[in-house]
Amino acid sequence: MLDFIAQPWPWYVAGTLIGLTVPTLLILGNKAFGISSSLRHICAACIPANIRFFNYDWRKEAWNLWFVGGIVIGGFIGGTLLKNPAAMSISPDTLYDLQELGIRDFTSGLMPTDIFTWQNLLTAKGLLFFVVGGFLVGFGTRYAGGCTSGHAIMGLSNLQWPSLVATISFMAGGFAMTHLFLPHLMHWVGF
């Protein structure tokens, strides 16, 4: 049984399970799926300042914090106890494209160690990728009124026009970053 759980599952199984999250949350209490709102709840619980954005009854949304905690625990279990011993499979075309950008070390798994190491954190590369990148993700999430999971999974299933616009914008931004900006950025930071 453990071997069955530990092996990679096809996209259509994982996609179906994620998709079933939406009606389950709606049926269980008219709850909306989204991850970025949990950061707001954490800040509202931990920062007792008189900031209007954090001044609400976060306890009504405490279920979301349990949901995010389950994601963290599930990620830990999946990444350690159920870790797939087989080498990660990356498309040869993707590997070639990444090597052209100067990223060559994939020994640690999904994140290339050429970029994502503790040593890089205190360099110009680390500052750019971690701090500036994290700020842009947070700003974009707040500006769009939610994250990709909230808009693309929950918002689209509820036929919300703003979620369609946000999801199209997320995809267009991702394509533009990957094909237009990333090669120049990688060259600029020294890859």
Which strand (E) or helix (H) includes residue 40?
Answer: helix 36-46
pLDDT attached to residue 73: 95
DSSP assigned state of 46? H
The CA distance from 92 to 85, in Å, is: 20
Buried b (16+ CB within 10 A) or exposed e, 120-139: beeeebbeebbeeeeeeeee
Residue 107 has what pLDDT? 63
pLDDT of the residue at 12:
92
- Ranges of residues in the chain whose predicted pLDDT is under 70: 1, 48, 106-110, 190-191
Task: Please report the pLDDT score of residue 164 as a whole number.
Answer: 94
- For residue 176, what pLDDT is reported? 94
Q: Is the dihedral of CA 154, 159, 165, 170 positive or negative?
A: positive
> Contact at 8 Å (CB) between 88 and 109?
yes
> Looking at residue 172, what is its pLDDT?
94
Torsion of CA 65, 74, 146, 182, to 10 degrees: 140
Q: What is the pLDDT of residue 61?
A: 83
Residue 41, Cβ density class (10 Å: 0-12 exposed, 13-18 middle, ≥19 buried): buried
Long-range residue pairs from 166-171, CB within 8 A, at least 24 positions apart, any chain: 169/144, 170/144
